[in-house]
Structure 1
């Protein structure tokens, strides 16, 4: 997401223990601008064990720390710092949702509802493709939307995390479309824009529906109604570029 031409980008994965006895795998991406360290690095944080909000908290705290080290190389210090302080950063933001711990507490599967937003490049055999997606969603008890707006095709799914994973496997391994010569082909141009746990402010979709929108505003309203305003503003506008 950063322009690769300027400065250096590198990825680091670190595993941090001591959090409800589970390991948290942090995937950190540092982008060092040309005039680093007199300019702060861009940092992006991902982790399957943390919610999106927690990842944002970690990022904010890292940037706060980075300011203290301005004009001296800091990446190494930042990594050491987050390894020691992750548990405090997260304690403040919310409890960690790790499948092992939620299941062992005997909480309902409602806690395990995930959401994924997918972007498809095109659909040549649209009618057949749509039917297939509807069937998979039904079979895997996933709800959500298949949305068309101009050239943009988005699939938003909610459901059990393992079913969402299963869906992604089907989507990538089945011959769902036809190529330019009309031969059946697998979906190669699909990207997962976002995968996250369904939060309390998100509305649960009751059904899986196919919807066509003629304007970006209509599409945005669909997301907003579902409490997904941030998801929309973060991932959809870049697709229009």
Structure 2
């Protein structure tokens, strides 16, 4: 059982409980999956379960649980539709209005580690340049964060690159894909939030310095909810 949460496009949190029942022959066969959430209807949970099973078919013969959880965090907002007459914990209902895709988007990614730091950083810089994304690659001790802003379509493209390309090396020095990245938060850019004009690499000497950078960009809520728990 894995419990996770996803920051919805309305600013609320959706808490999910994902249960994977692994047969003896796993991963050569699909796991049994069940989904539950107090914020979602049964129909929505079933829809998410069906989508997860579709994704699982793409990972036969290889461990897939981590990939399925990451996929859920990245795609829940795209597959959940709430009727116009309903609300979610007092917030506006979720919507897949295409106008959202046109609004500036902000996403915060947490990386577990970088073994080949120089190569990894150069790769991230190239991706953000190619996709016209702005933001920060932030280092504070062992904490590594990537804050991206830009068109939602290009941010989705970045996440695909982050997941599918060999950007780091494993403990044996062999090139490997990023398996430990997690999306902490994704949301539209509000009027009180600053839109970065460039993508920068920043090293911080203290938590206070990191917090001040978030606050100066109007992202103090994101820092409090998603960054502070990492320390």
- Short-chain TM bin: 0.5 to 0.7
SS at match of 1:86: coil
**Residue in structure 2 matched with residue 213 of structure 1 by the alignment:** 204
Q: List per-residue Cα deviations over 1:79-100 (Å, max 9, x = no partner).
A: xxx979526987xx66976433
Residue 124 of structure 1 is matched in structure 2 by 115
* Distance (whole Å) between structure 2 residues aligned to residue 130 and residue 161 of structure 1: 22
- Structure 1 residue 195, shift from structure 2 partner: 1.0
Higher relative contact order (CA closer than 8 Å, sequence separation 6+): 2
- 1:1-241, aligned counterparts within 5 Å? 11-12=36-37, 13-14=40-41, 48=77, 86=86, 98-100=96-98, 102=99, 111-240=102-231
Q: Distance in 2 between matches of 1:226 and 1:15?
A: 38
Q: CA shift at 1:205, angstroms? A: 0.5
Write the distance in 1 (CA, Å) between the matches of 2:151 and 2:85: 31
Contact 1:140/1:163, CA 8 A, preserved across alignment: yes
Distance (whole Å) between structure 2 residues aligned to residue 217 and residue 163 of structure 1: 31
1:48 Cα deviation after fit: 2.4
Normalising by structure 1, what TM-score? 0.61
Rounded to whole Å, the distance in 2 between the matches of 1:127 and 1:223 is 24
Please give the TM-score of this superposition, normalised by the length of structure 2: 0.63
Asked whether the equivalents of residues 117 and 192 of structure 1 are also in contact (C-alpha less than 8 Å), the reply is yes
CA RMSD of aligned residues (A): 3.4
Q: Is the 8 A contact 2:168 2:178 kept in 1?
A: yes
Asked if the contact 2:193/2:218 (under 8 Å) is kept, the reply is yes
Match of 2:21 in 1: none
Distance 1:154 1:89, change over 3 A: closer
> Residues 231 and 88 of structure 1: is their aligned pair in 2 closer, same or farther, counting only changes over 3 Å?
closer
Instruction: Give the secondary structure class of the aligned counterpart of 2:123.
Output: helix
**Per-residue deviation at 1:174?**
0.6
Alignment size in residue pairs: 169
Gaps of 5+ in 1: 4-8, 17-22, 28-45, 50-81, 104-108
